[in-house]
Amino acid sequence: MISAYKQDLKHKEDELAIQYLPAVRAMAFRLKERLPSSVDYMDLSAIGTEELIKLARRYDEALNDSFWGYAKKRVYGAMLDYLRSLDVLSRSSRKLVKAIDYAVEDYRAIHDEEPSDEELSEILGESVEKIHEARIASSIYTVMPLQDQLQVGDDGAMLANIEKEELIDVIKTVLDGYNEREQLIIQLYYFEELSLKEISDVLSITESRISQIHKSVIHKIKESVGA
Q: In whole angstroms, how far apart are CA 218 and each of 25, 181, 212, 214, 215?
A: 30, 17, 10, 7, 5
Task: State the average pLDDT for the chain.
Answer: 80
**99-146: pLDDT as tens digits:** 888 888 888 888 888 899 999 999 999 999 989 888 887 777 777 776
* Cα dihedral: 86, 16, 195, 115 (round 10): 20
Of 141, 159, 177, the last residue of a domain is 141
pTM exceeds 0.85, yes or no: no
Instruction: Give the range of the structural domain holding residue 99, as residue numbers without chain letter.
Output: 87-141
User: CA torsion sign, 208 to 209 to 210 to 213?
Assistant: positive
In this structure, the answer to whether residues 164 and 106 fall within a common structural domain is: no
**Same domain flag for 73 and 98:** no
Query: How far from chain centre, in Å, is Cα 197?
Result: 15
What pLDDT is recorded for position 44?
94
What is residue 10's predicted lDDT score, i.e. its pLDDT?
55
> Of the residues 141, 176, 207, which one is the last residue of a structural domain?
141
pLDDT in the model for residue 114:
83
Distance separating alpha carbons of residues 96 and 154, to the nearest angstrom: 12
Q: Which residues contact 100 (CB under 8 A, 6 or more apart)?
A: 120, 124, 131, 134, 135, 138
Q: How many domains does the chain have?
A: 3
Same domain? For 34 and 9 the reply is yes
pLDDT at 76: 92
Cβ contacts of 226 within 8 Å, gap of 6 or more: 158
Residue 61: exposure state from Cβ atoms within 10 A (0-12, 13-18, ≥19): exposed
pLDDT of residue 9: 43
Output the tens digit of pLDDT for each of the chain's 227 residues: 445 434 444 556 678 888 999 999 999 998 898 888 888 999 999 999 999 999 988 887 767 678 888 899 999 999 988 988 876 656 667 788 888 888 888 888 888 888 999 999 999 999 999 898 888 877 777 777 766 666 555 445 555 556 667 777 877 888 888 888 888 988 888 778 788 888 999 898 888 788 878 878 877 877 776 64
| 225 & 149 share domain | yes
Q: Are residues 107 and 39 in the same domain?
A: no
Q: Long-range contacts: 174-182, Cβ < 8 Å, 24+? A: 174/217, 174/220, 174/221, 174/224, 175/217, 177/220, 178/213, 178/217, 181/205, 182/213
pLDDT given at position 150: 66
Q: What is the pLDDT of residue 194?
A: 84
Angstrom distance (rounded) from CA 213 to CA 187: 12
- Based on the fold, state whether residues 80 and 96 are members of the same structural domain: no
Q: CB within 8 A of 42, min separation 6: which ones?
A: none
- Which CATH number do you get for residue 57? 1.10.1740.10
Decide: helix, strand or coil at residue 58. coil
Same structural domain for residues 54 and 120?
no
Domain end residue (candidates: 141, 169, 186): 141
